[in-house]
Homo-oligomer: A and B are copies of this chain.
Amino acid sequence: MPIISPALLLLAAAQAPAADTGIPPGTAAVLDDPDTRWIQPDPEWTLYMDMAGMDEIEGGRVVIRLSKGIGRQNSENIKRLVRAGHFANGSIDRVQENYVVQWSGAANAPRGAAEGAVPGEFEAPRGEAGMLSPIPFSDAYAPQVGFLNGFPAAQDGNRTWLAHCYGALGVGRGDDPDGADGSELYVVIGQAPRHLDRNITLAGQVLSGMEYLTSLPRGTEALGFYREGAAKPRIANIRVAADVPATEREDIELMEMSGHTLAAWADARANRARDGWFNYSHGAIDLCNLPVPVRRSPREE
């Protein structure tokens, strides 16, 4: 008896559009709705991280969208490193179970015009970095959560910050909040470690290719660092998408996480019984359990 469950029903559900039935749309209907809006990531603020592969571990491309709002100075410094070739032949240094994958460039890798220390951008005065598009659900960490320019984010009465959801790109730092040089980057690979919010700079979010990071062997030393002398997974290179010939760029787009599109998507994900299989809808969803859909850009026929 082959049981396919618990099914992610994005692919499987066949829903009639709301206009036909009067029933609010399920997840598949929102994805298919021609009124749902999608945006193409700006190539100047998109990174291609190409994993080299190792033994039986498949390499492949991780596509990362950088933030040009909160975290902008750190994003810019990362781009300076990337453009200097800093991460060519770099390595994964740390894979900590249910936490982060962290990497760096090769020893003495060039730094080009990158700053040696960038001020921490853990949060911003509310409104300064744009308006949060809220979702109307409770959160343990903030009175209001939602999306800011497509990144999961939170705010209170005074401050707005990006949230450590699955796939978030962070800028490693030591004890100095303003001492990050952009050379130690990490991606969240487990349950959202939201306690890191407001404590470290987030500079972006993985759009695709998470599996090339999450399936890496866990490091066996403290904090998931690889053992001294162990073969580390290699990074072939990281490039800014704008520096790659247009014909070789990834042709993907992400859902616009604002306005009616966000409202419909959050509502559908909060009410999964519309999708079948599910018996019970919670009528709510956690910020980090509301994924930002990414798809291949459709072509005119």
Cβ-defined contact, A3 with B289, below 8 A? no
Inter-chain contact B218/A122, CB cutoff 8 Å? no
Check A58–B217 contact: CB distance below 8 A: yes
> For the complex, what is the distance from the CA of A237 to the CA of B197, rounded to whole Å?
41
- Which parts of A156-194 form the interface with B (CB within 8 Å)? 165-167, 170, 172-175, 177, 180-181, 183-184, 186, 190-194
Kindly state the separation between the CA atoms of A163 and B59 in the bound complex, as whole angstroms. 34
Would A284 and B214 be within 8 Å (CB), given that A166-B191, A200-B6, A279-B198 are in contact? no
Chain A window 196-229, contacts with chain B (Cβ cutoff 8 Å), 1 for yes, 0 for no = 1111100000000011001111100011010000
Residues of B within 8 A of A277 (CB): 175, 199
Contact of B6 with A196 in the complex, beta carbons under 8 Å: yes
Q: Are A288 and B191 in contact (CB under 8 A)?
A: yes
- Which residues of chain B have C-beta atoms less than 8 A from A2's C-beta? 184
Q: Which of A1-20 contact B (CB under 8 A)?
A: 1-8, 11-12
Interface centre among A95, A141, A287 (most CB of B within 10 A): A141
Whether the pair B5, A172 counts as a contact (CB closer than 8 A) is yes
A98 within 8 A of B: yes
| CB atoms of B280 and A193 under 8 A apart | no
Give the docked Cα–Cα distance between A7 and B222 (Å).
10
Chain B residues with CB under 8 A of A193: 6, 289
A56 within 8 A of B: yes
* A 41-61 binary contact with B (CB < 8 Å = 1; else 0): 000000000000001111000
Say whether, besides A55-B56, A217-B215, A3 and B222 are in contact (CB < 8 Å).
no
What is the chain B residue whose CB lies nearest that of A275? Answer: B195
Are B170 and A6 touching (Cβ within 8 A)?
A: yes
A184 touches B272 (CB 8 A): no
- Chain A: interface residue count, which band? 35 or more
A195, chain B: closest CB distance, angstroms: 5
Q: Which of A166, A173, A191 has the most CB of B within 10 A?
A: A191
The reply to whether B140 and A97 contact each other, CB–CB distance below 8 Å, is no
Smallest CB separation, A256 vs chain B (Å): 21
Q: Does A282 contact B (CB under 8 A)?
A: yes
Alpha-carbon distance A289/B56, docked complex (angstroms)? 32
The answer to whether A172 touches B217 (Cβ under 8 A) is: no
A contact set with B: CB distance below 8 Å: 1-8, 11-12, 55-58, 95-100, 122, 137-141, 165-167, 170, 172-175, 177, 180-181, 183-184, 186, 190-200, 210-211, 214-218, 222-223, 225, 269-270, 272, 276-280, 282, 284-289, 291
* CB pairs A–B below 8 angstroms (23 shown): A3-B174, A5-B172, A5-B186, A6-B100, A6-B193, A6-B196, A6-B199, A6-B200, A8-B99, A8-B223, A56-B56, A97-B210, A140-B285, A140-B289, A177-B279, A190-B190, A190-B191, A194-B282, A194-B286, A195-B272, A197-B282, A214-B214, A215-B216
Q: Considering the complex of A and B, which 3 residue pairs feature the smallest CB-CB distances, nearest first?
A: A56-B56, A55-B56, A211-B218
